[in-house]
Homo-oligomer: A and B are copies of this chain.
Amino acid sequence: MPRRSTKRYHHGDLRKALVEGALRLLETRSPAELSLRSVARLAGVSPNAPYRHFESKDALLAAVAEEGFRRLATVTAAAKGPPRKRLAQMGAAYVRFATENPRLYGLMFGPVLSGWERYEGLVAAGDASFAVVVEAVAAATNTDPKRASRDAILAWSAVHGYAMLAIDGHLGSCPAKELPPPEELVRIIDTR
């Protein structure tokens, strides 16, 4: 059994430690302020150690964003109830995730991670989280798959935009009472 108290040369599971450390740092620092070296320091390891697990800083950020998408999918998939209500609750859960993890969400979607298409796992996790929305929309609207896919994009746009505006404080000028509740966002697919 590995000892924890004495400093060992090998870390054990540095990869996971780095991702978790970056997630912790994202609770307070913005992704732009997050340096690879600070993540390494937090893990108690030299500045170059991360390069044994990630080919670049972007690759680390991609892994972090991937974890973010997994968590997002978990949160949204947890919405229950009859299809229509479930969809509304899913939207609310989505917005809640974004506003509770603003910097992580910004990393997942923002321009910080410019070449995200290169990271296969990230793409897969993103697609999976979108699939949750598509499925819920399809169940709520009861139309053909093609139409459901288009409606899902609309719903996703509304929820994503609302979340982004809320995160960046662009909704801050309105008193909270006058903000439309996130549940209303699904009205975008209401018209038949």
A109 within 8 A of B: yes
Which residues in window 59-95 of A have CB below 8 A to B?
A: none
Interface of A is mostly: helix
A44 within 8 A of B: no
Q: Which of B126, B185, B189 contacts A157 (CB 8 A)?
A: B185
Residues of B contacting A189 in the complex (Cβ-Cβ under 8 angstroms) = 187
* New contact pairs (19) apart from A111-B167, A149-B178, CB-CB < 8 Å: A32-B32, A109-B170, A110-B111, A150-B178, A150-B179, A153-B171, A154-B162, A154-B188, A156-B161, A156-B165, A157-B161, A157-B162, A158-B158, A158-B188, A159-B161, A160-B165, A161-B161, A161-B164, A190-B191
